[in-house]
Amino acid sequence: MSARLVELREIHLPLVAPFQTSFGTQTSRRILLVRAEVEVDGVVTEGWGECVTGDEPTYSSEYVDGAALVIRSVLAPRLAAIDNLHAADVARILGPVRGHPMAKAALEMAVLDAELRAEGRSFAALIGVTRDRIPSGVSVGIHPTVDALLHTVSGYLDDGYVRIKLKIEPGCDLEPVAAVRDLIGPDVPFQVDANAAYSRHDAEHLAKLDAFDLLLIEQPLAEDDLLGHSELAKALATPVCLDESITSETVCADAIELGAAEIVNIKAGRVGGYLTARRIHDLCRDRGVPVWCGGMLETGIGRAANAALAGLDGFTLPGDVSASRRFWAEDIVTEPIDVVDGHVAVPTGAGFGFELDREVLDRATTSTVNLRPA
C-alpha cells in the first residue's frame, strides 16, 4: 500500500451569519482541502484532509495563503520523496520543518483518510472510540447588542445544544455573560472564550466572572503566556482552559505541570494532526485533566473528524462540534451533520466517515493545484 498527495484545492463558503471574536469578524471562509490517494493492487482510493487556517494570521500565526504555499513548496515535496508513505509516519517526516501544524495536519489527515478507506476501517475504530454519539456545544460570537445576543442564544437552546460558549473581549464581558446566565438559568453549562484578548493585569476584573458559575474561561491571555495563565488560575475560582497555547504534547504537559491548564481544548489542526491530538487526549487523561474538542469553523470533512475524535473517553466535557448548519447554509461539501437530542453522531463510515458532495465541492472550488511531482 502506498499513499501519495495529489491535489490542493481552495474552496470559498459563505457563513450563515457573521462570527465575531476578539480577533476579528468572519463572514465567509476560505478553506484548503487536500486530496490523497492510496493504491492497493491497482485499486485507487482517495482521501481528503481539511486545513483549518483562517484568512489572516489572527487566531494563530498560520493563514490560508501561507499554508497553501508551505504545502506546495515544502511539505508535499517531502512526502512525495517517500517510497512507502503511511499516515503514521507523516508527522515524523515533516518534523524537521518548524511550525505550520495546521498545514501538516491537513496532509496527515488526507493520507490517513485514504489509508483507512482503503482498509474499510473508520478513524473512530482505529483510535478505540466506544461511544456512538457526543454531546454538542455551540460557540456564540460577540454580538453588537445584548438583545441580539440573547435572541441568538435562545435559538441555539431551541436547537438542543447542551452547552453554550460565549466569546468575550475587554469591554464586552461581564454584561453579556450576566445576561446569558440570566436567560439560560443556573443549569445550562456555560463557558467563555477570550481568544487571548486580556493581559496579566486583568486578574481582578476576570475574577468578577466567578459570580456566574462558568464551566471554564478559555485562553484569557496570550498564547505564549503559560506563567500568566498559571497565576491567573490561582486568582480565579473559574477553571482556566487553554486553547491557542496548546501547540504540542510537550507544551501541554508543561502547561498542566505549571497549573496553567486546568482543562484543555484539543484541536487537531493546532497540534499538527489527529494522531497527535489523540496522544494529547491520552496524556491529559493520565493526568486527570478534562478535555473537550474545539472547532475551527470546519466543513463537514473536519467536522466529521472532530466528532470521531471527541468520541474518546477522556473528552468528558461537551465540545464545539456543532451542526453544520450552525455555520453553513445549504452549500456544504458533505452530507449535513445534525444535532439530535443535543448530540452529534460519531461517524461509523470508513476513514473519517464523511461523504463528499462532488457537485457542491466543485462549485465552491476557487483554485486547484496539482501536488504530484512534475
The nearer residue to Mg ion, 125 or 222, going by C-beta atoms, is: 222
Catalytic residue among 165, 208, 234, 267: 267
Instruction: Single out the residue of 15, 9, 10, 11 nearest to residue 28, CA to CA.
Output: 15
User: Do residues 305 and 274 make contact, with C-beta atoms less than 8 angstroms apart?
Assistant: yes
Residue 320 binds Mg ion (CB under 5 A): no
Question: 7, 37, 113, 243: which one contacts Mg ion (CB under 5 A)?
Answer: 243
- What is the per-residue binding string for Mg ion in 198-237, x denoting contact by CB under 5 A? --------------------x-------------------
Residues numbered 188 to 217 that lie near ligand NPQ (CB under 6 A) are 193, 195
The nearer residue to Mg ion, 322 or 334, going by C-beta atoms, is: 322
The nearer residue to ligand NPQ, 54 or 353, going by C-beta atoms, is: 54
Beta sheet of 240-242, edge-to-edge order: 137-140, 163-167, 190-193, 217-218, 240-242, 263-266, 291-293
Residue with smallest beta-carbon separation from Mg ion? 243
Instruction: Single out the residue of 239, 197, 203, 238 nearest to residue 221, CA to CA.
Output: 197
- What is the per-residue binding string for ligand NPQ in 241-280, x denoting contact by CB under 6 A? --x-------------------------------------
The one-letter amino acid at 62:
E
Q: Given phi > 0 = left and psi -120 to 50 = alpha, else beta, which region is 60?
A: beta
Clarify whether 267 is annotated catalytic. yes
- Each residue of 222-247: b (16+ CB within 10 Å) or e? bbebbebbbbbbeebebbbbbbbbbb
- What is the per-residue binding string for ligand NPQ in 278-297, x denoting contact by CB under 6 A? ----------------xxxx
User: Do residues 36 and 47 make contact, with C-beta atoms less than 8 angstroms apart?
Assistant: yes
Residue with smallest beta-carbon separation from ligand NPQ? 54
Retrieve residue 280's grid coordinates. 494529547
Residues numbered 125 to 144 that lie near ligand NPQ (CB under 6 A) are 139
- Catalog residues that contact Mg ion under the rule CB under 5 A: 193, 218, 243
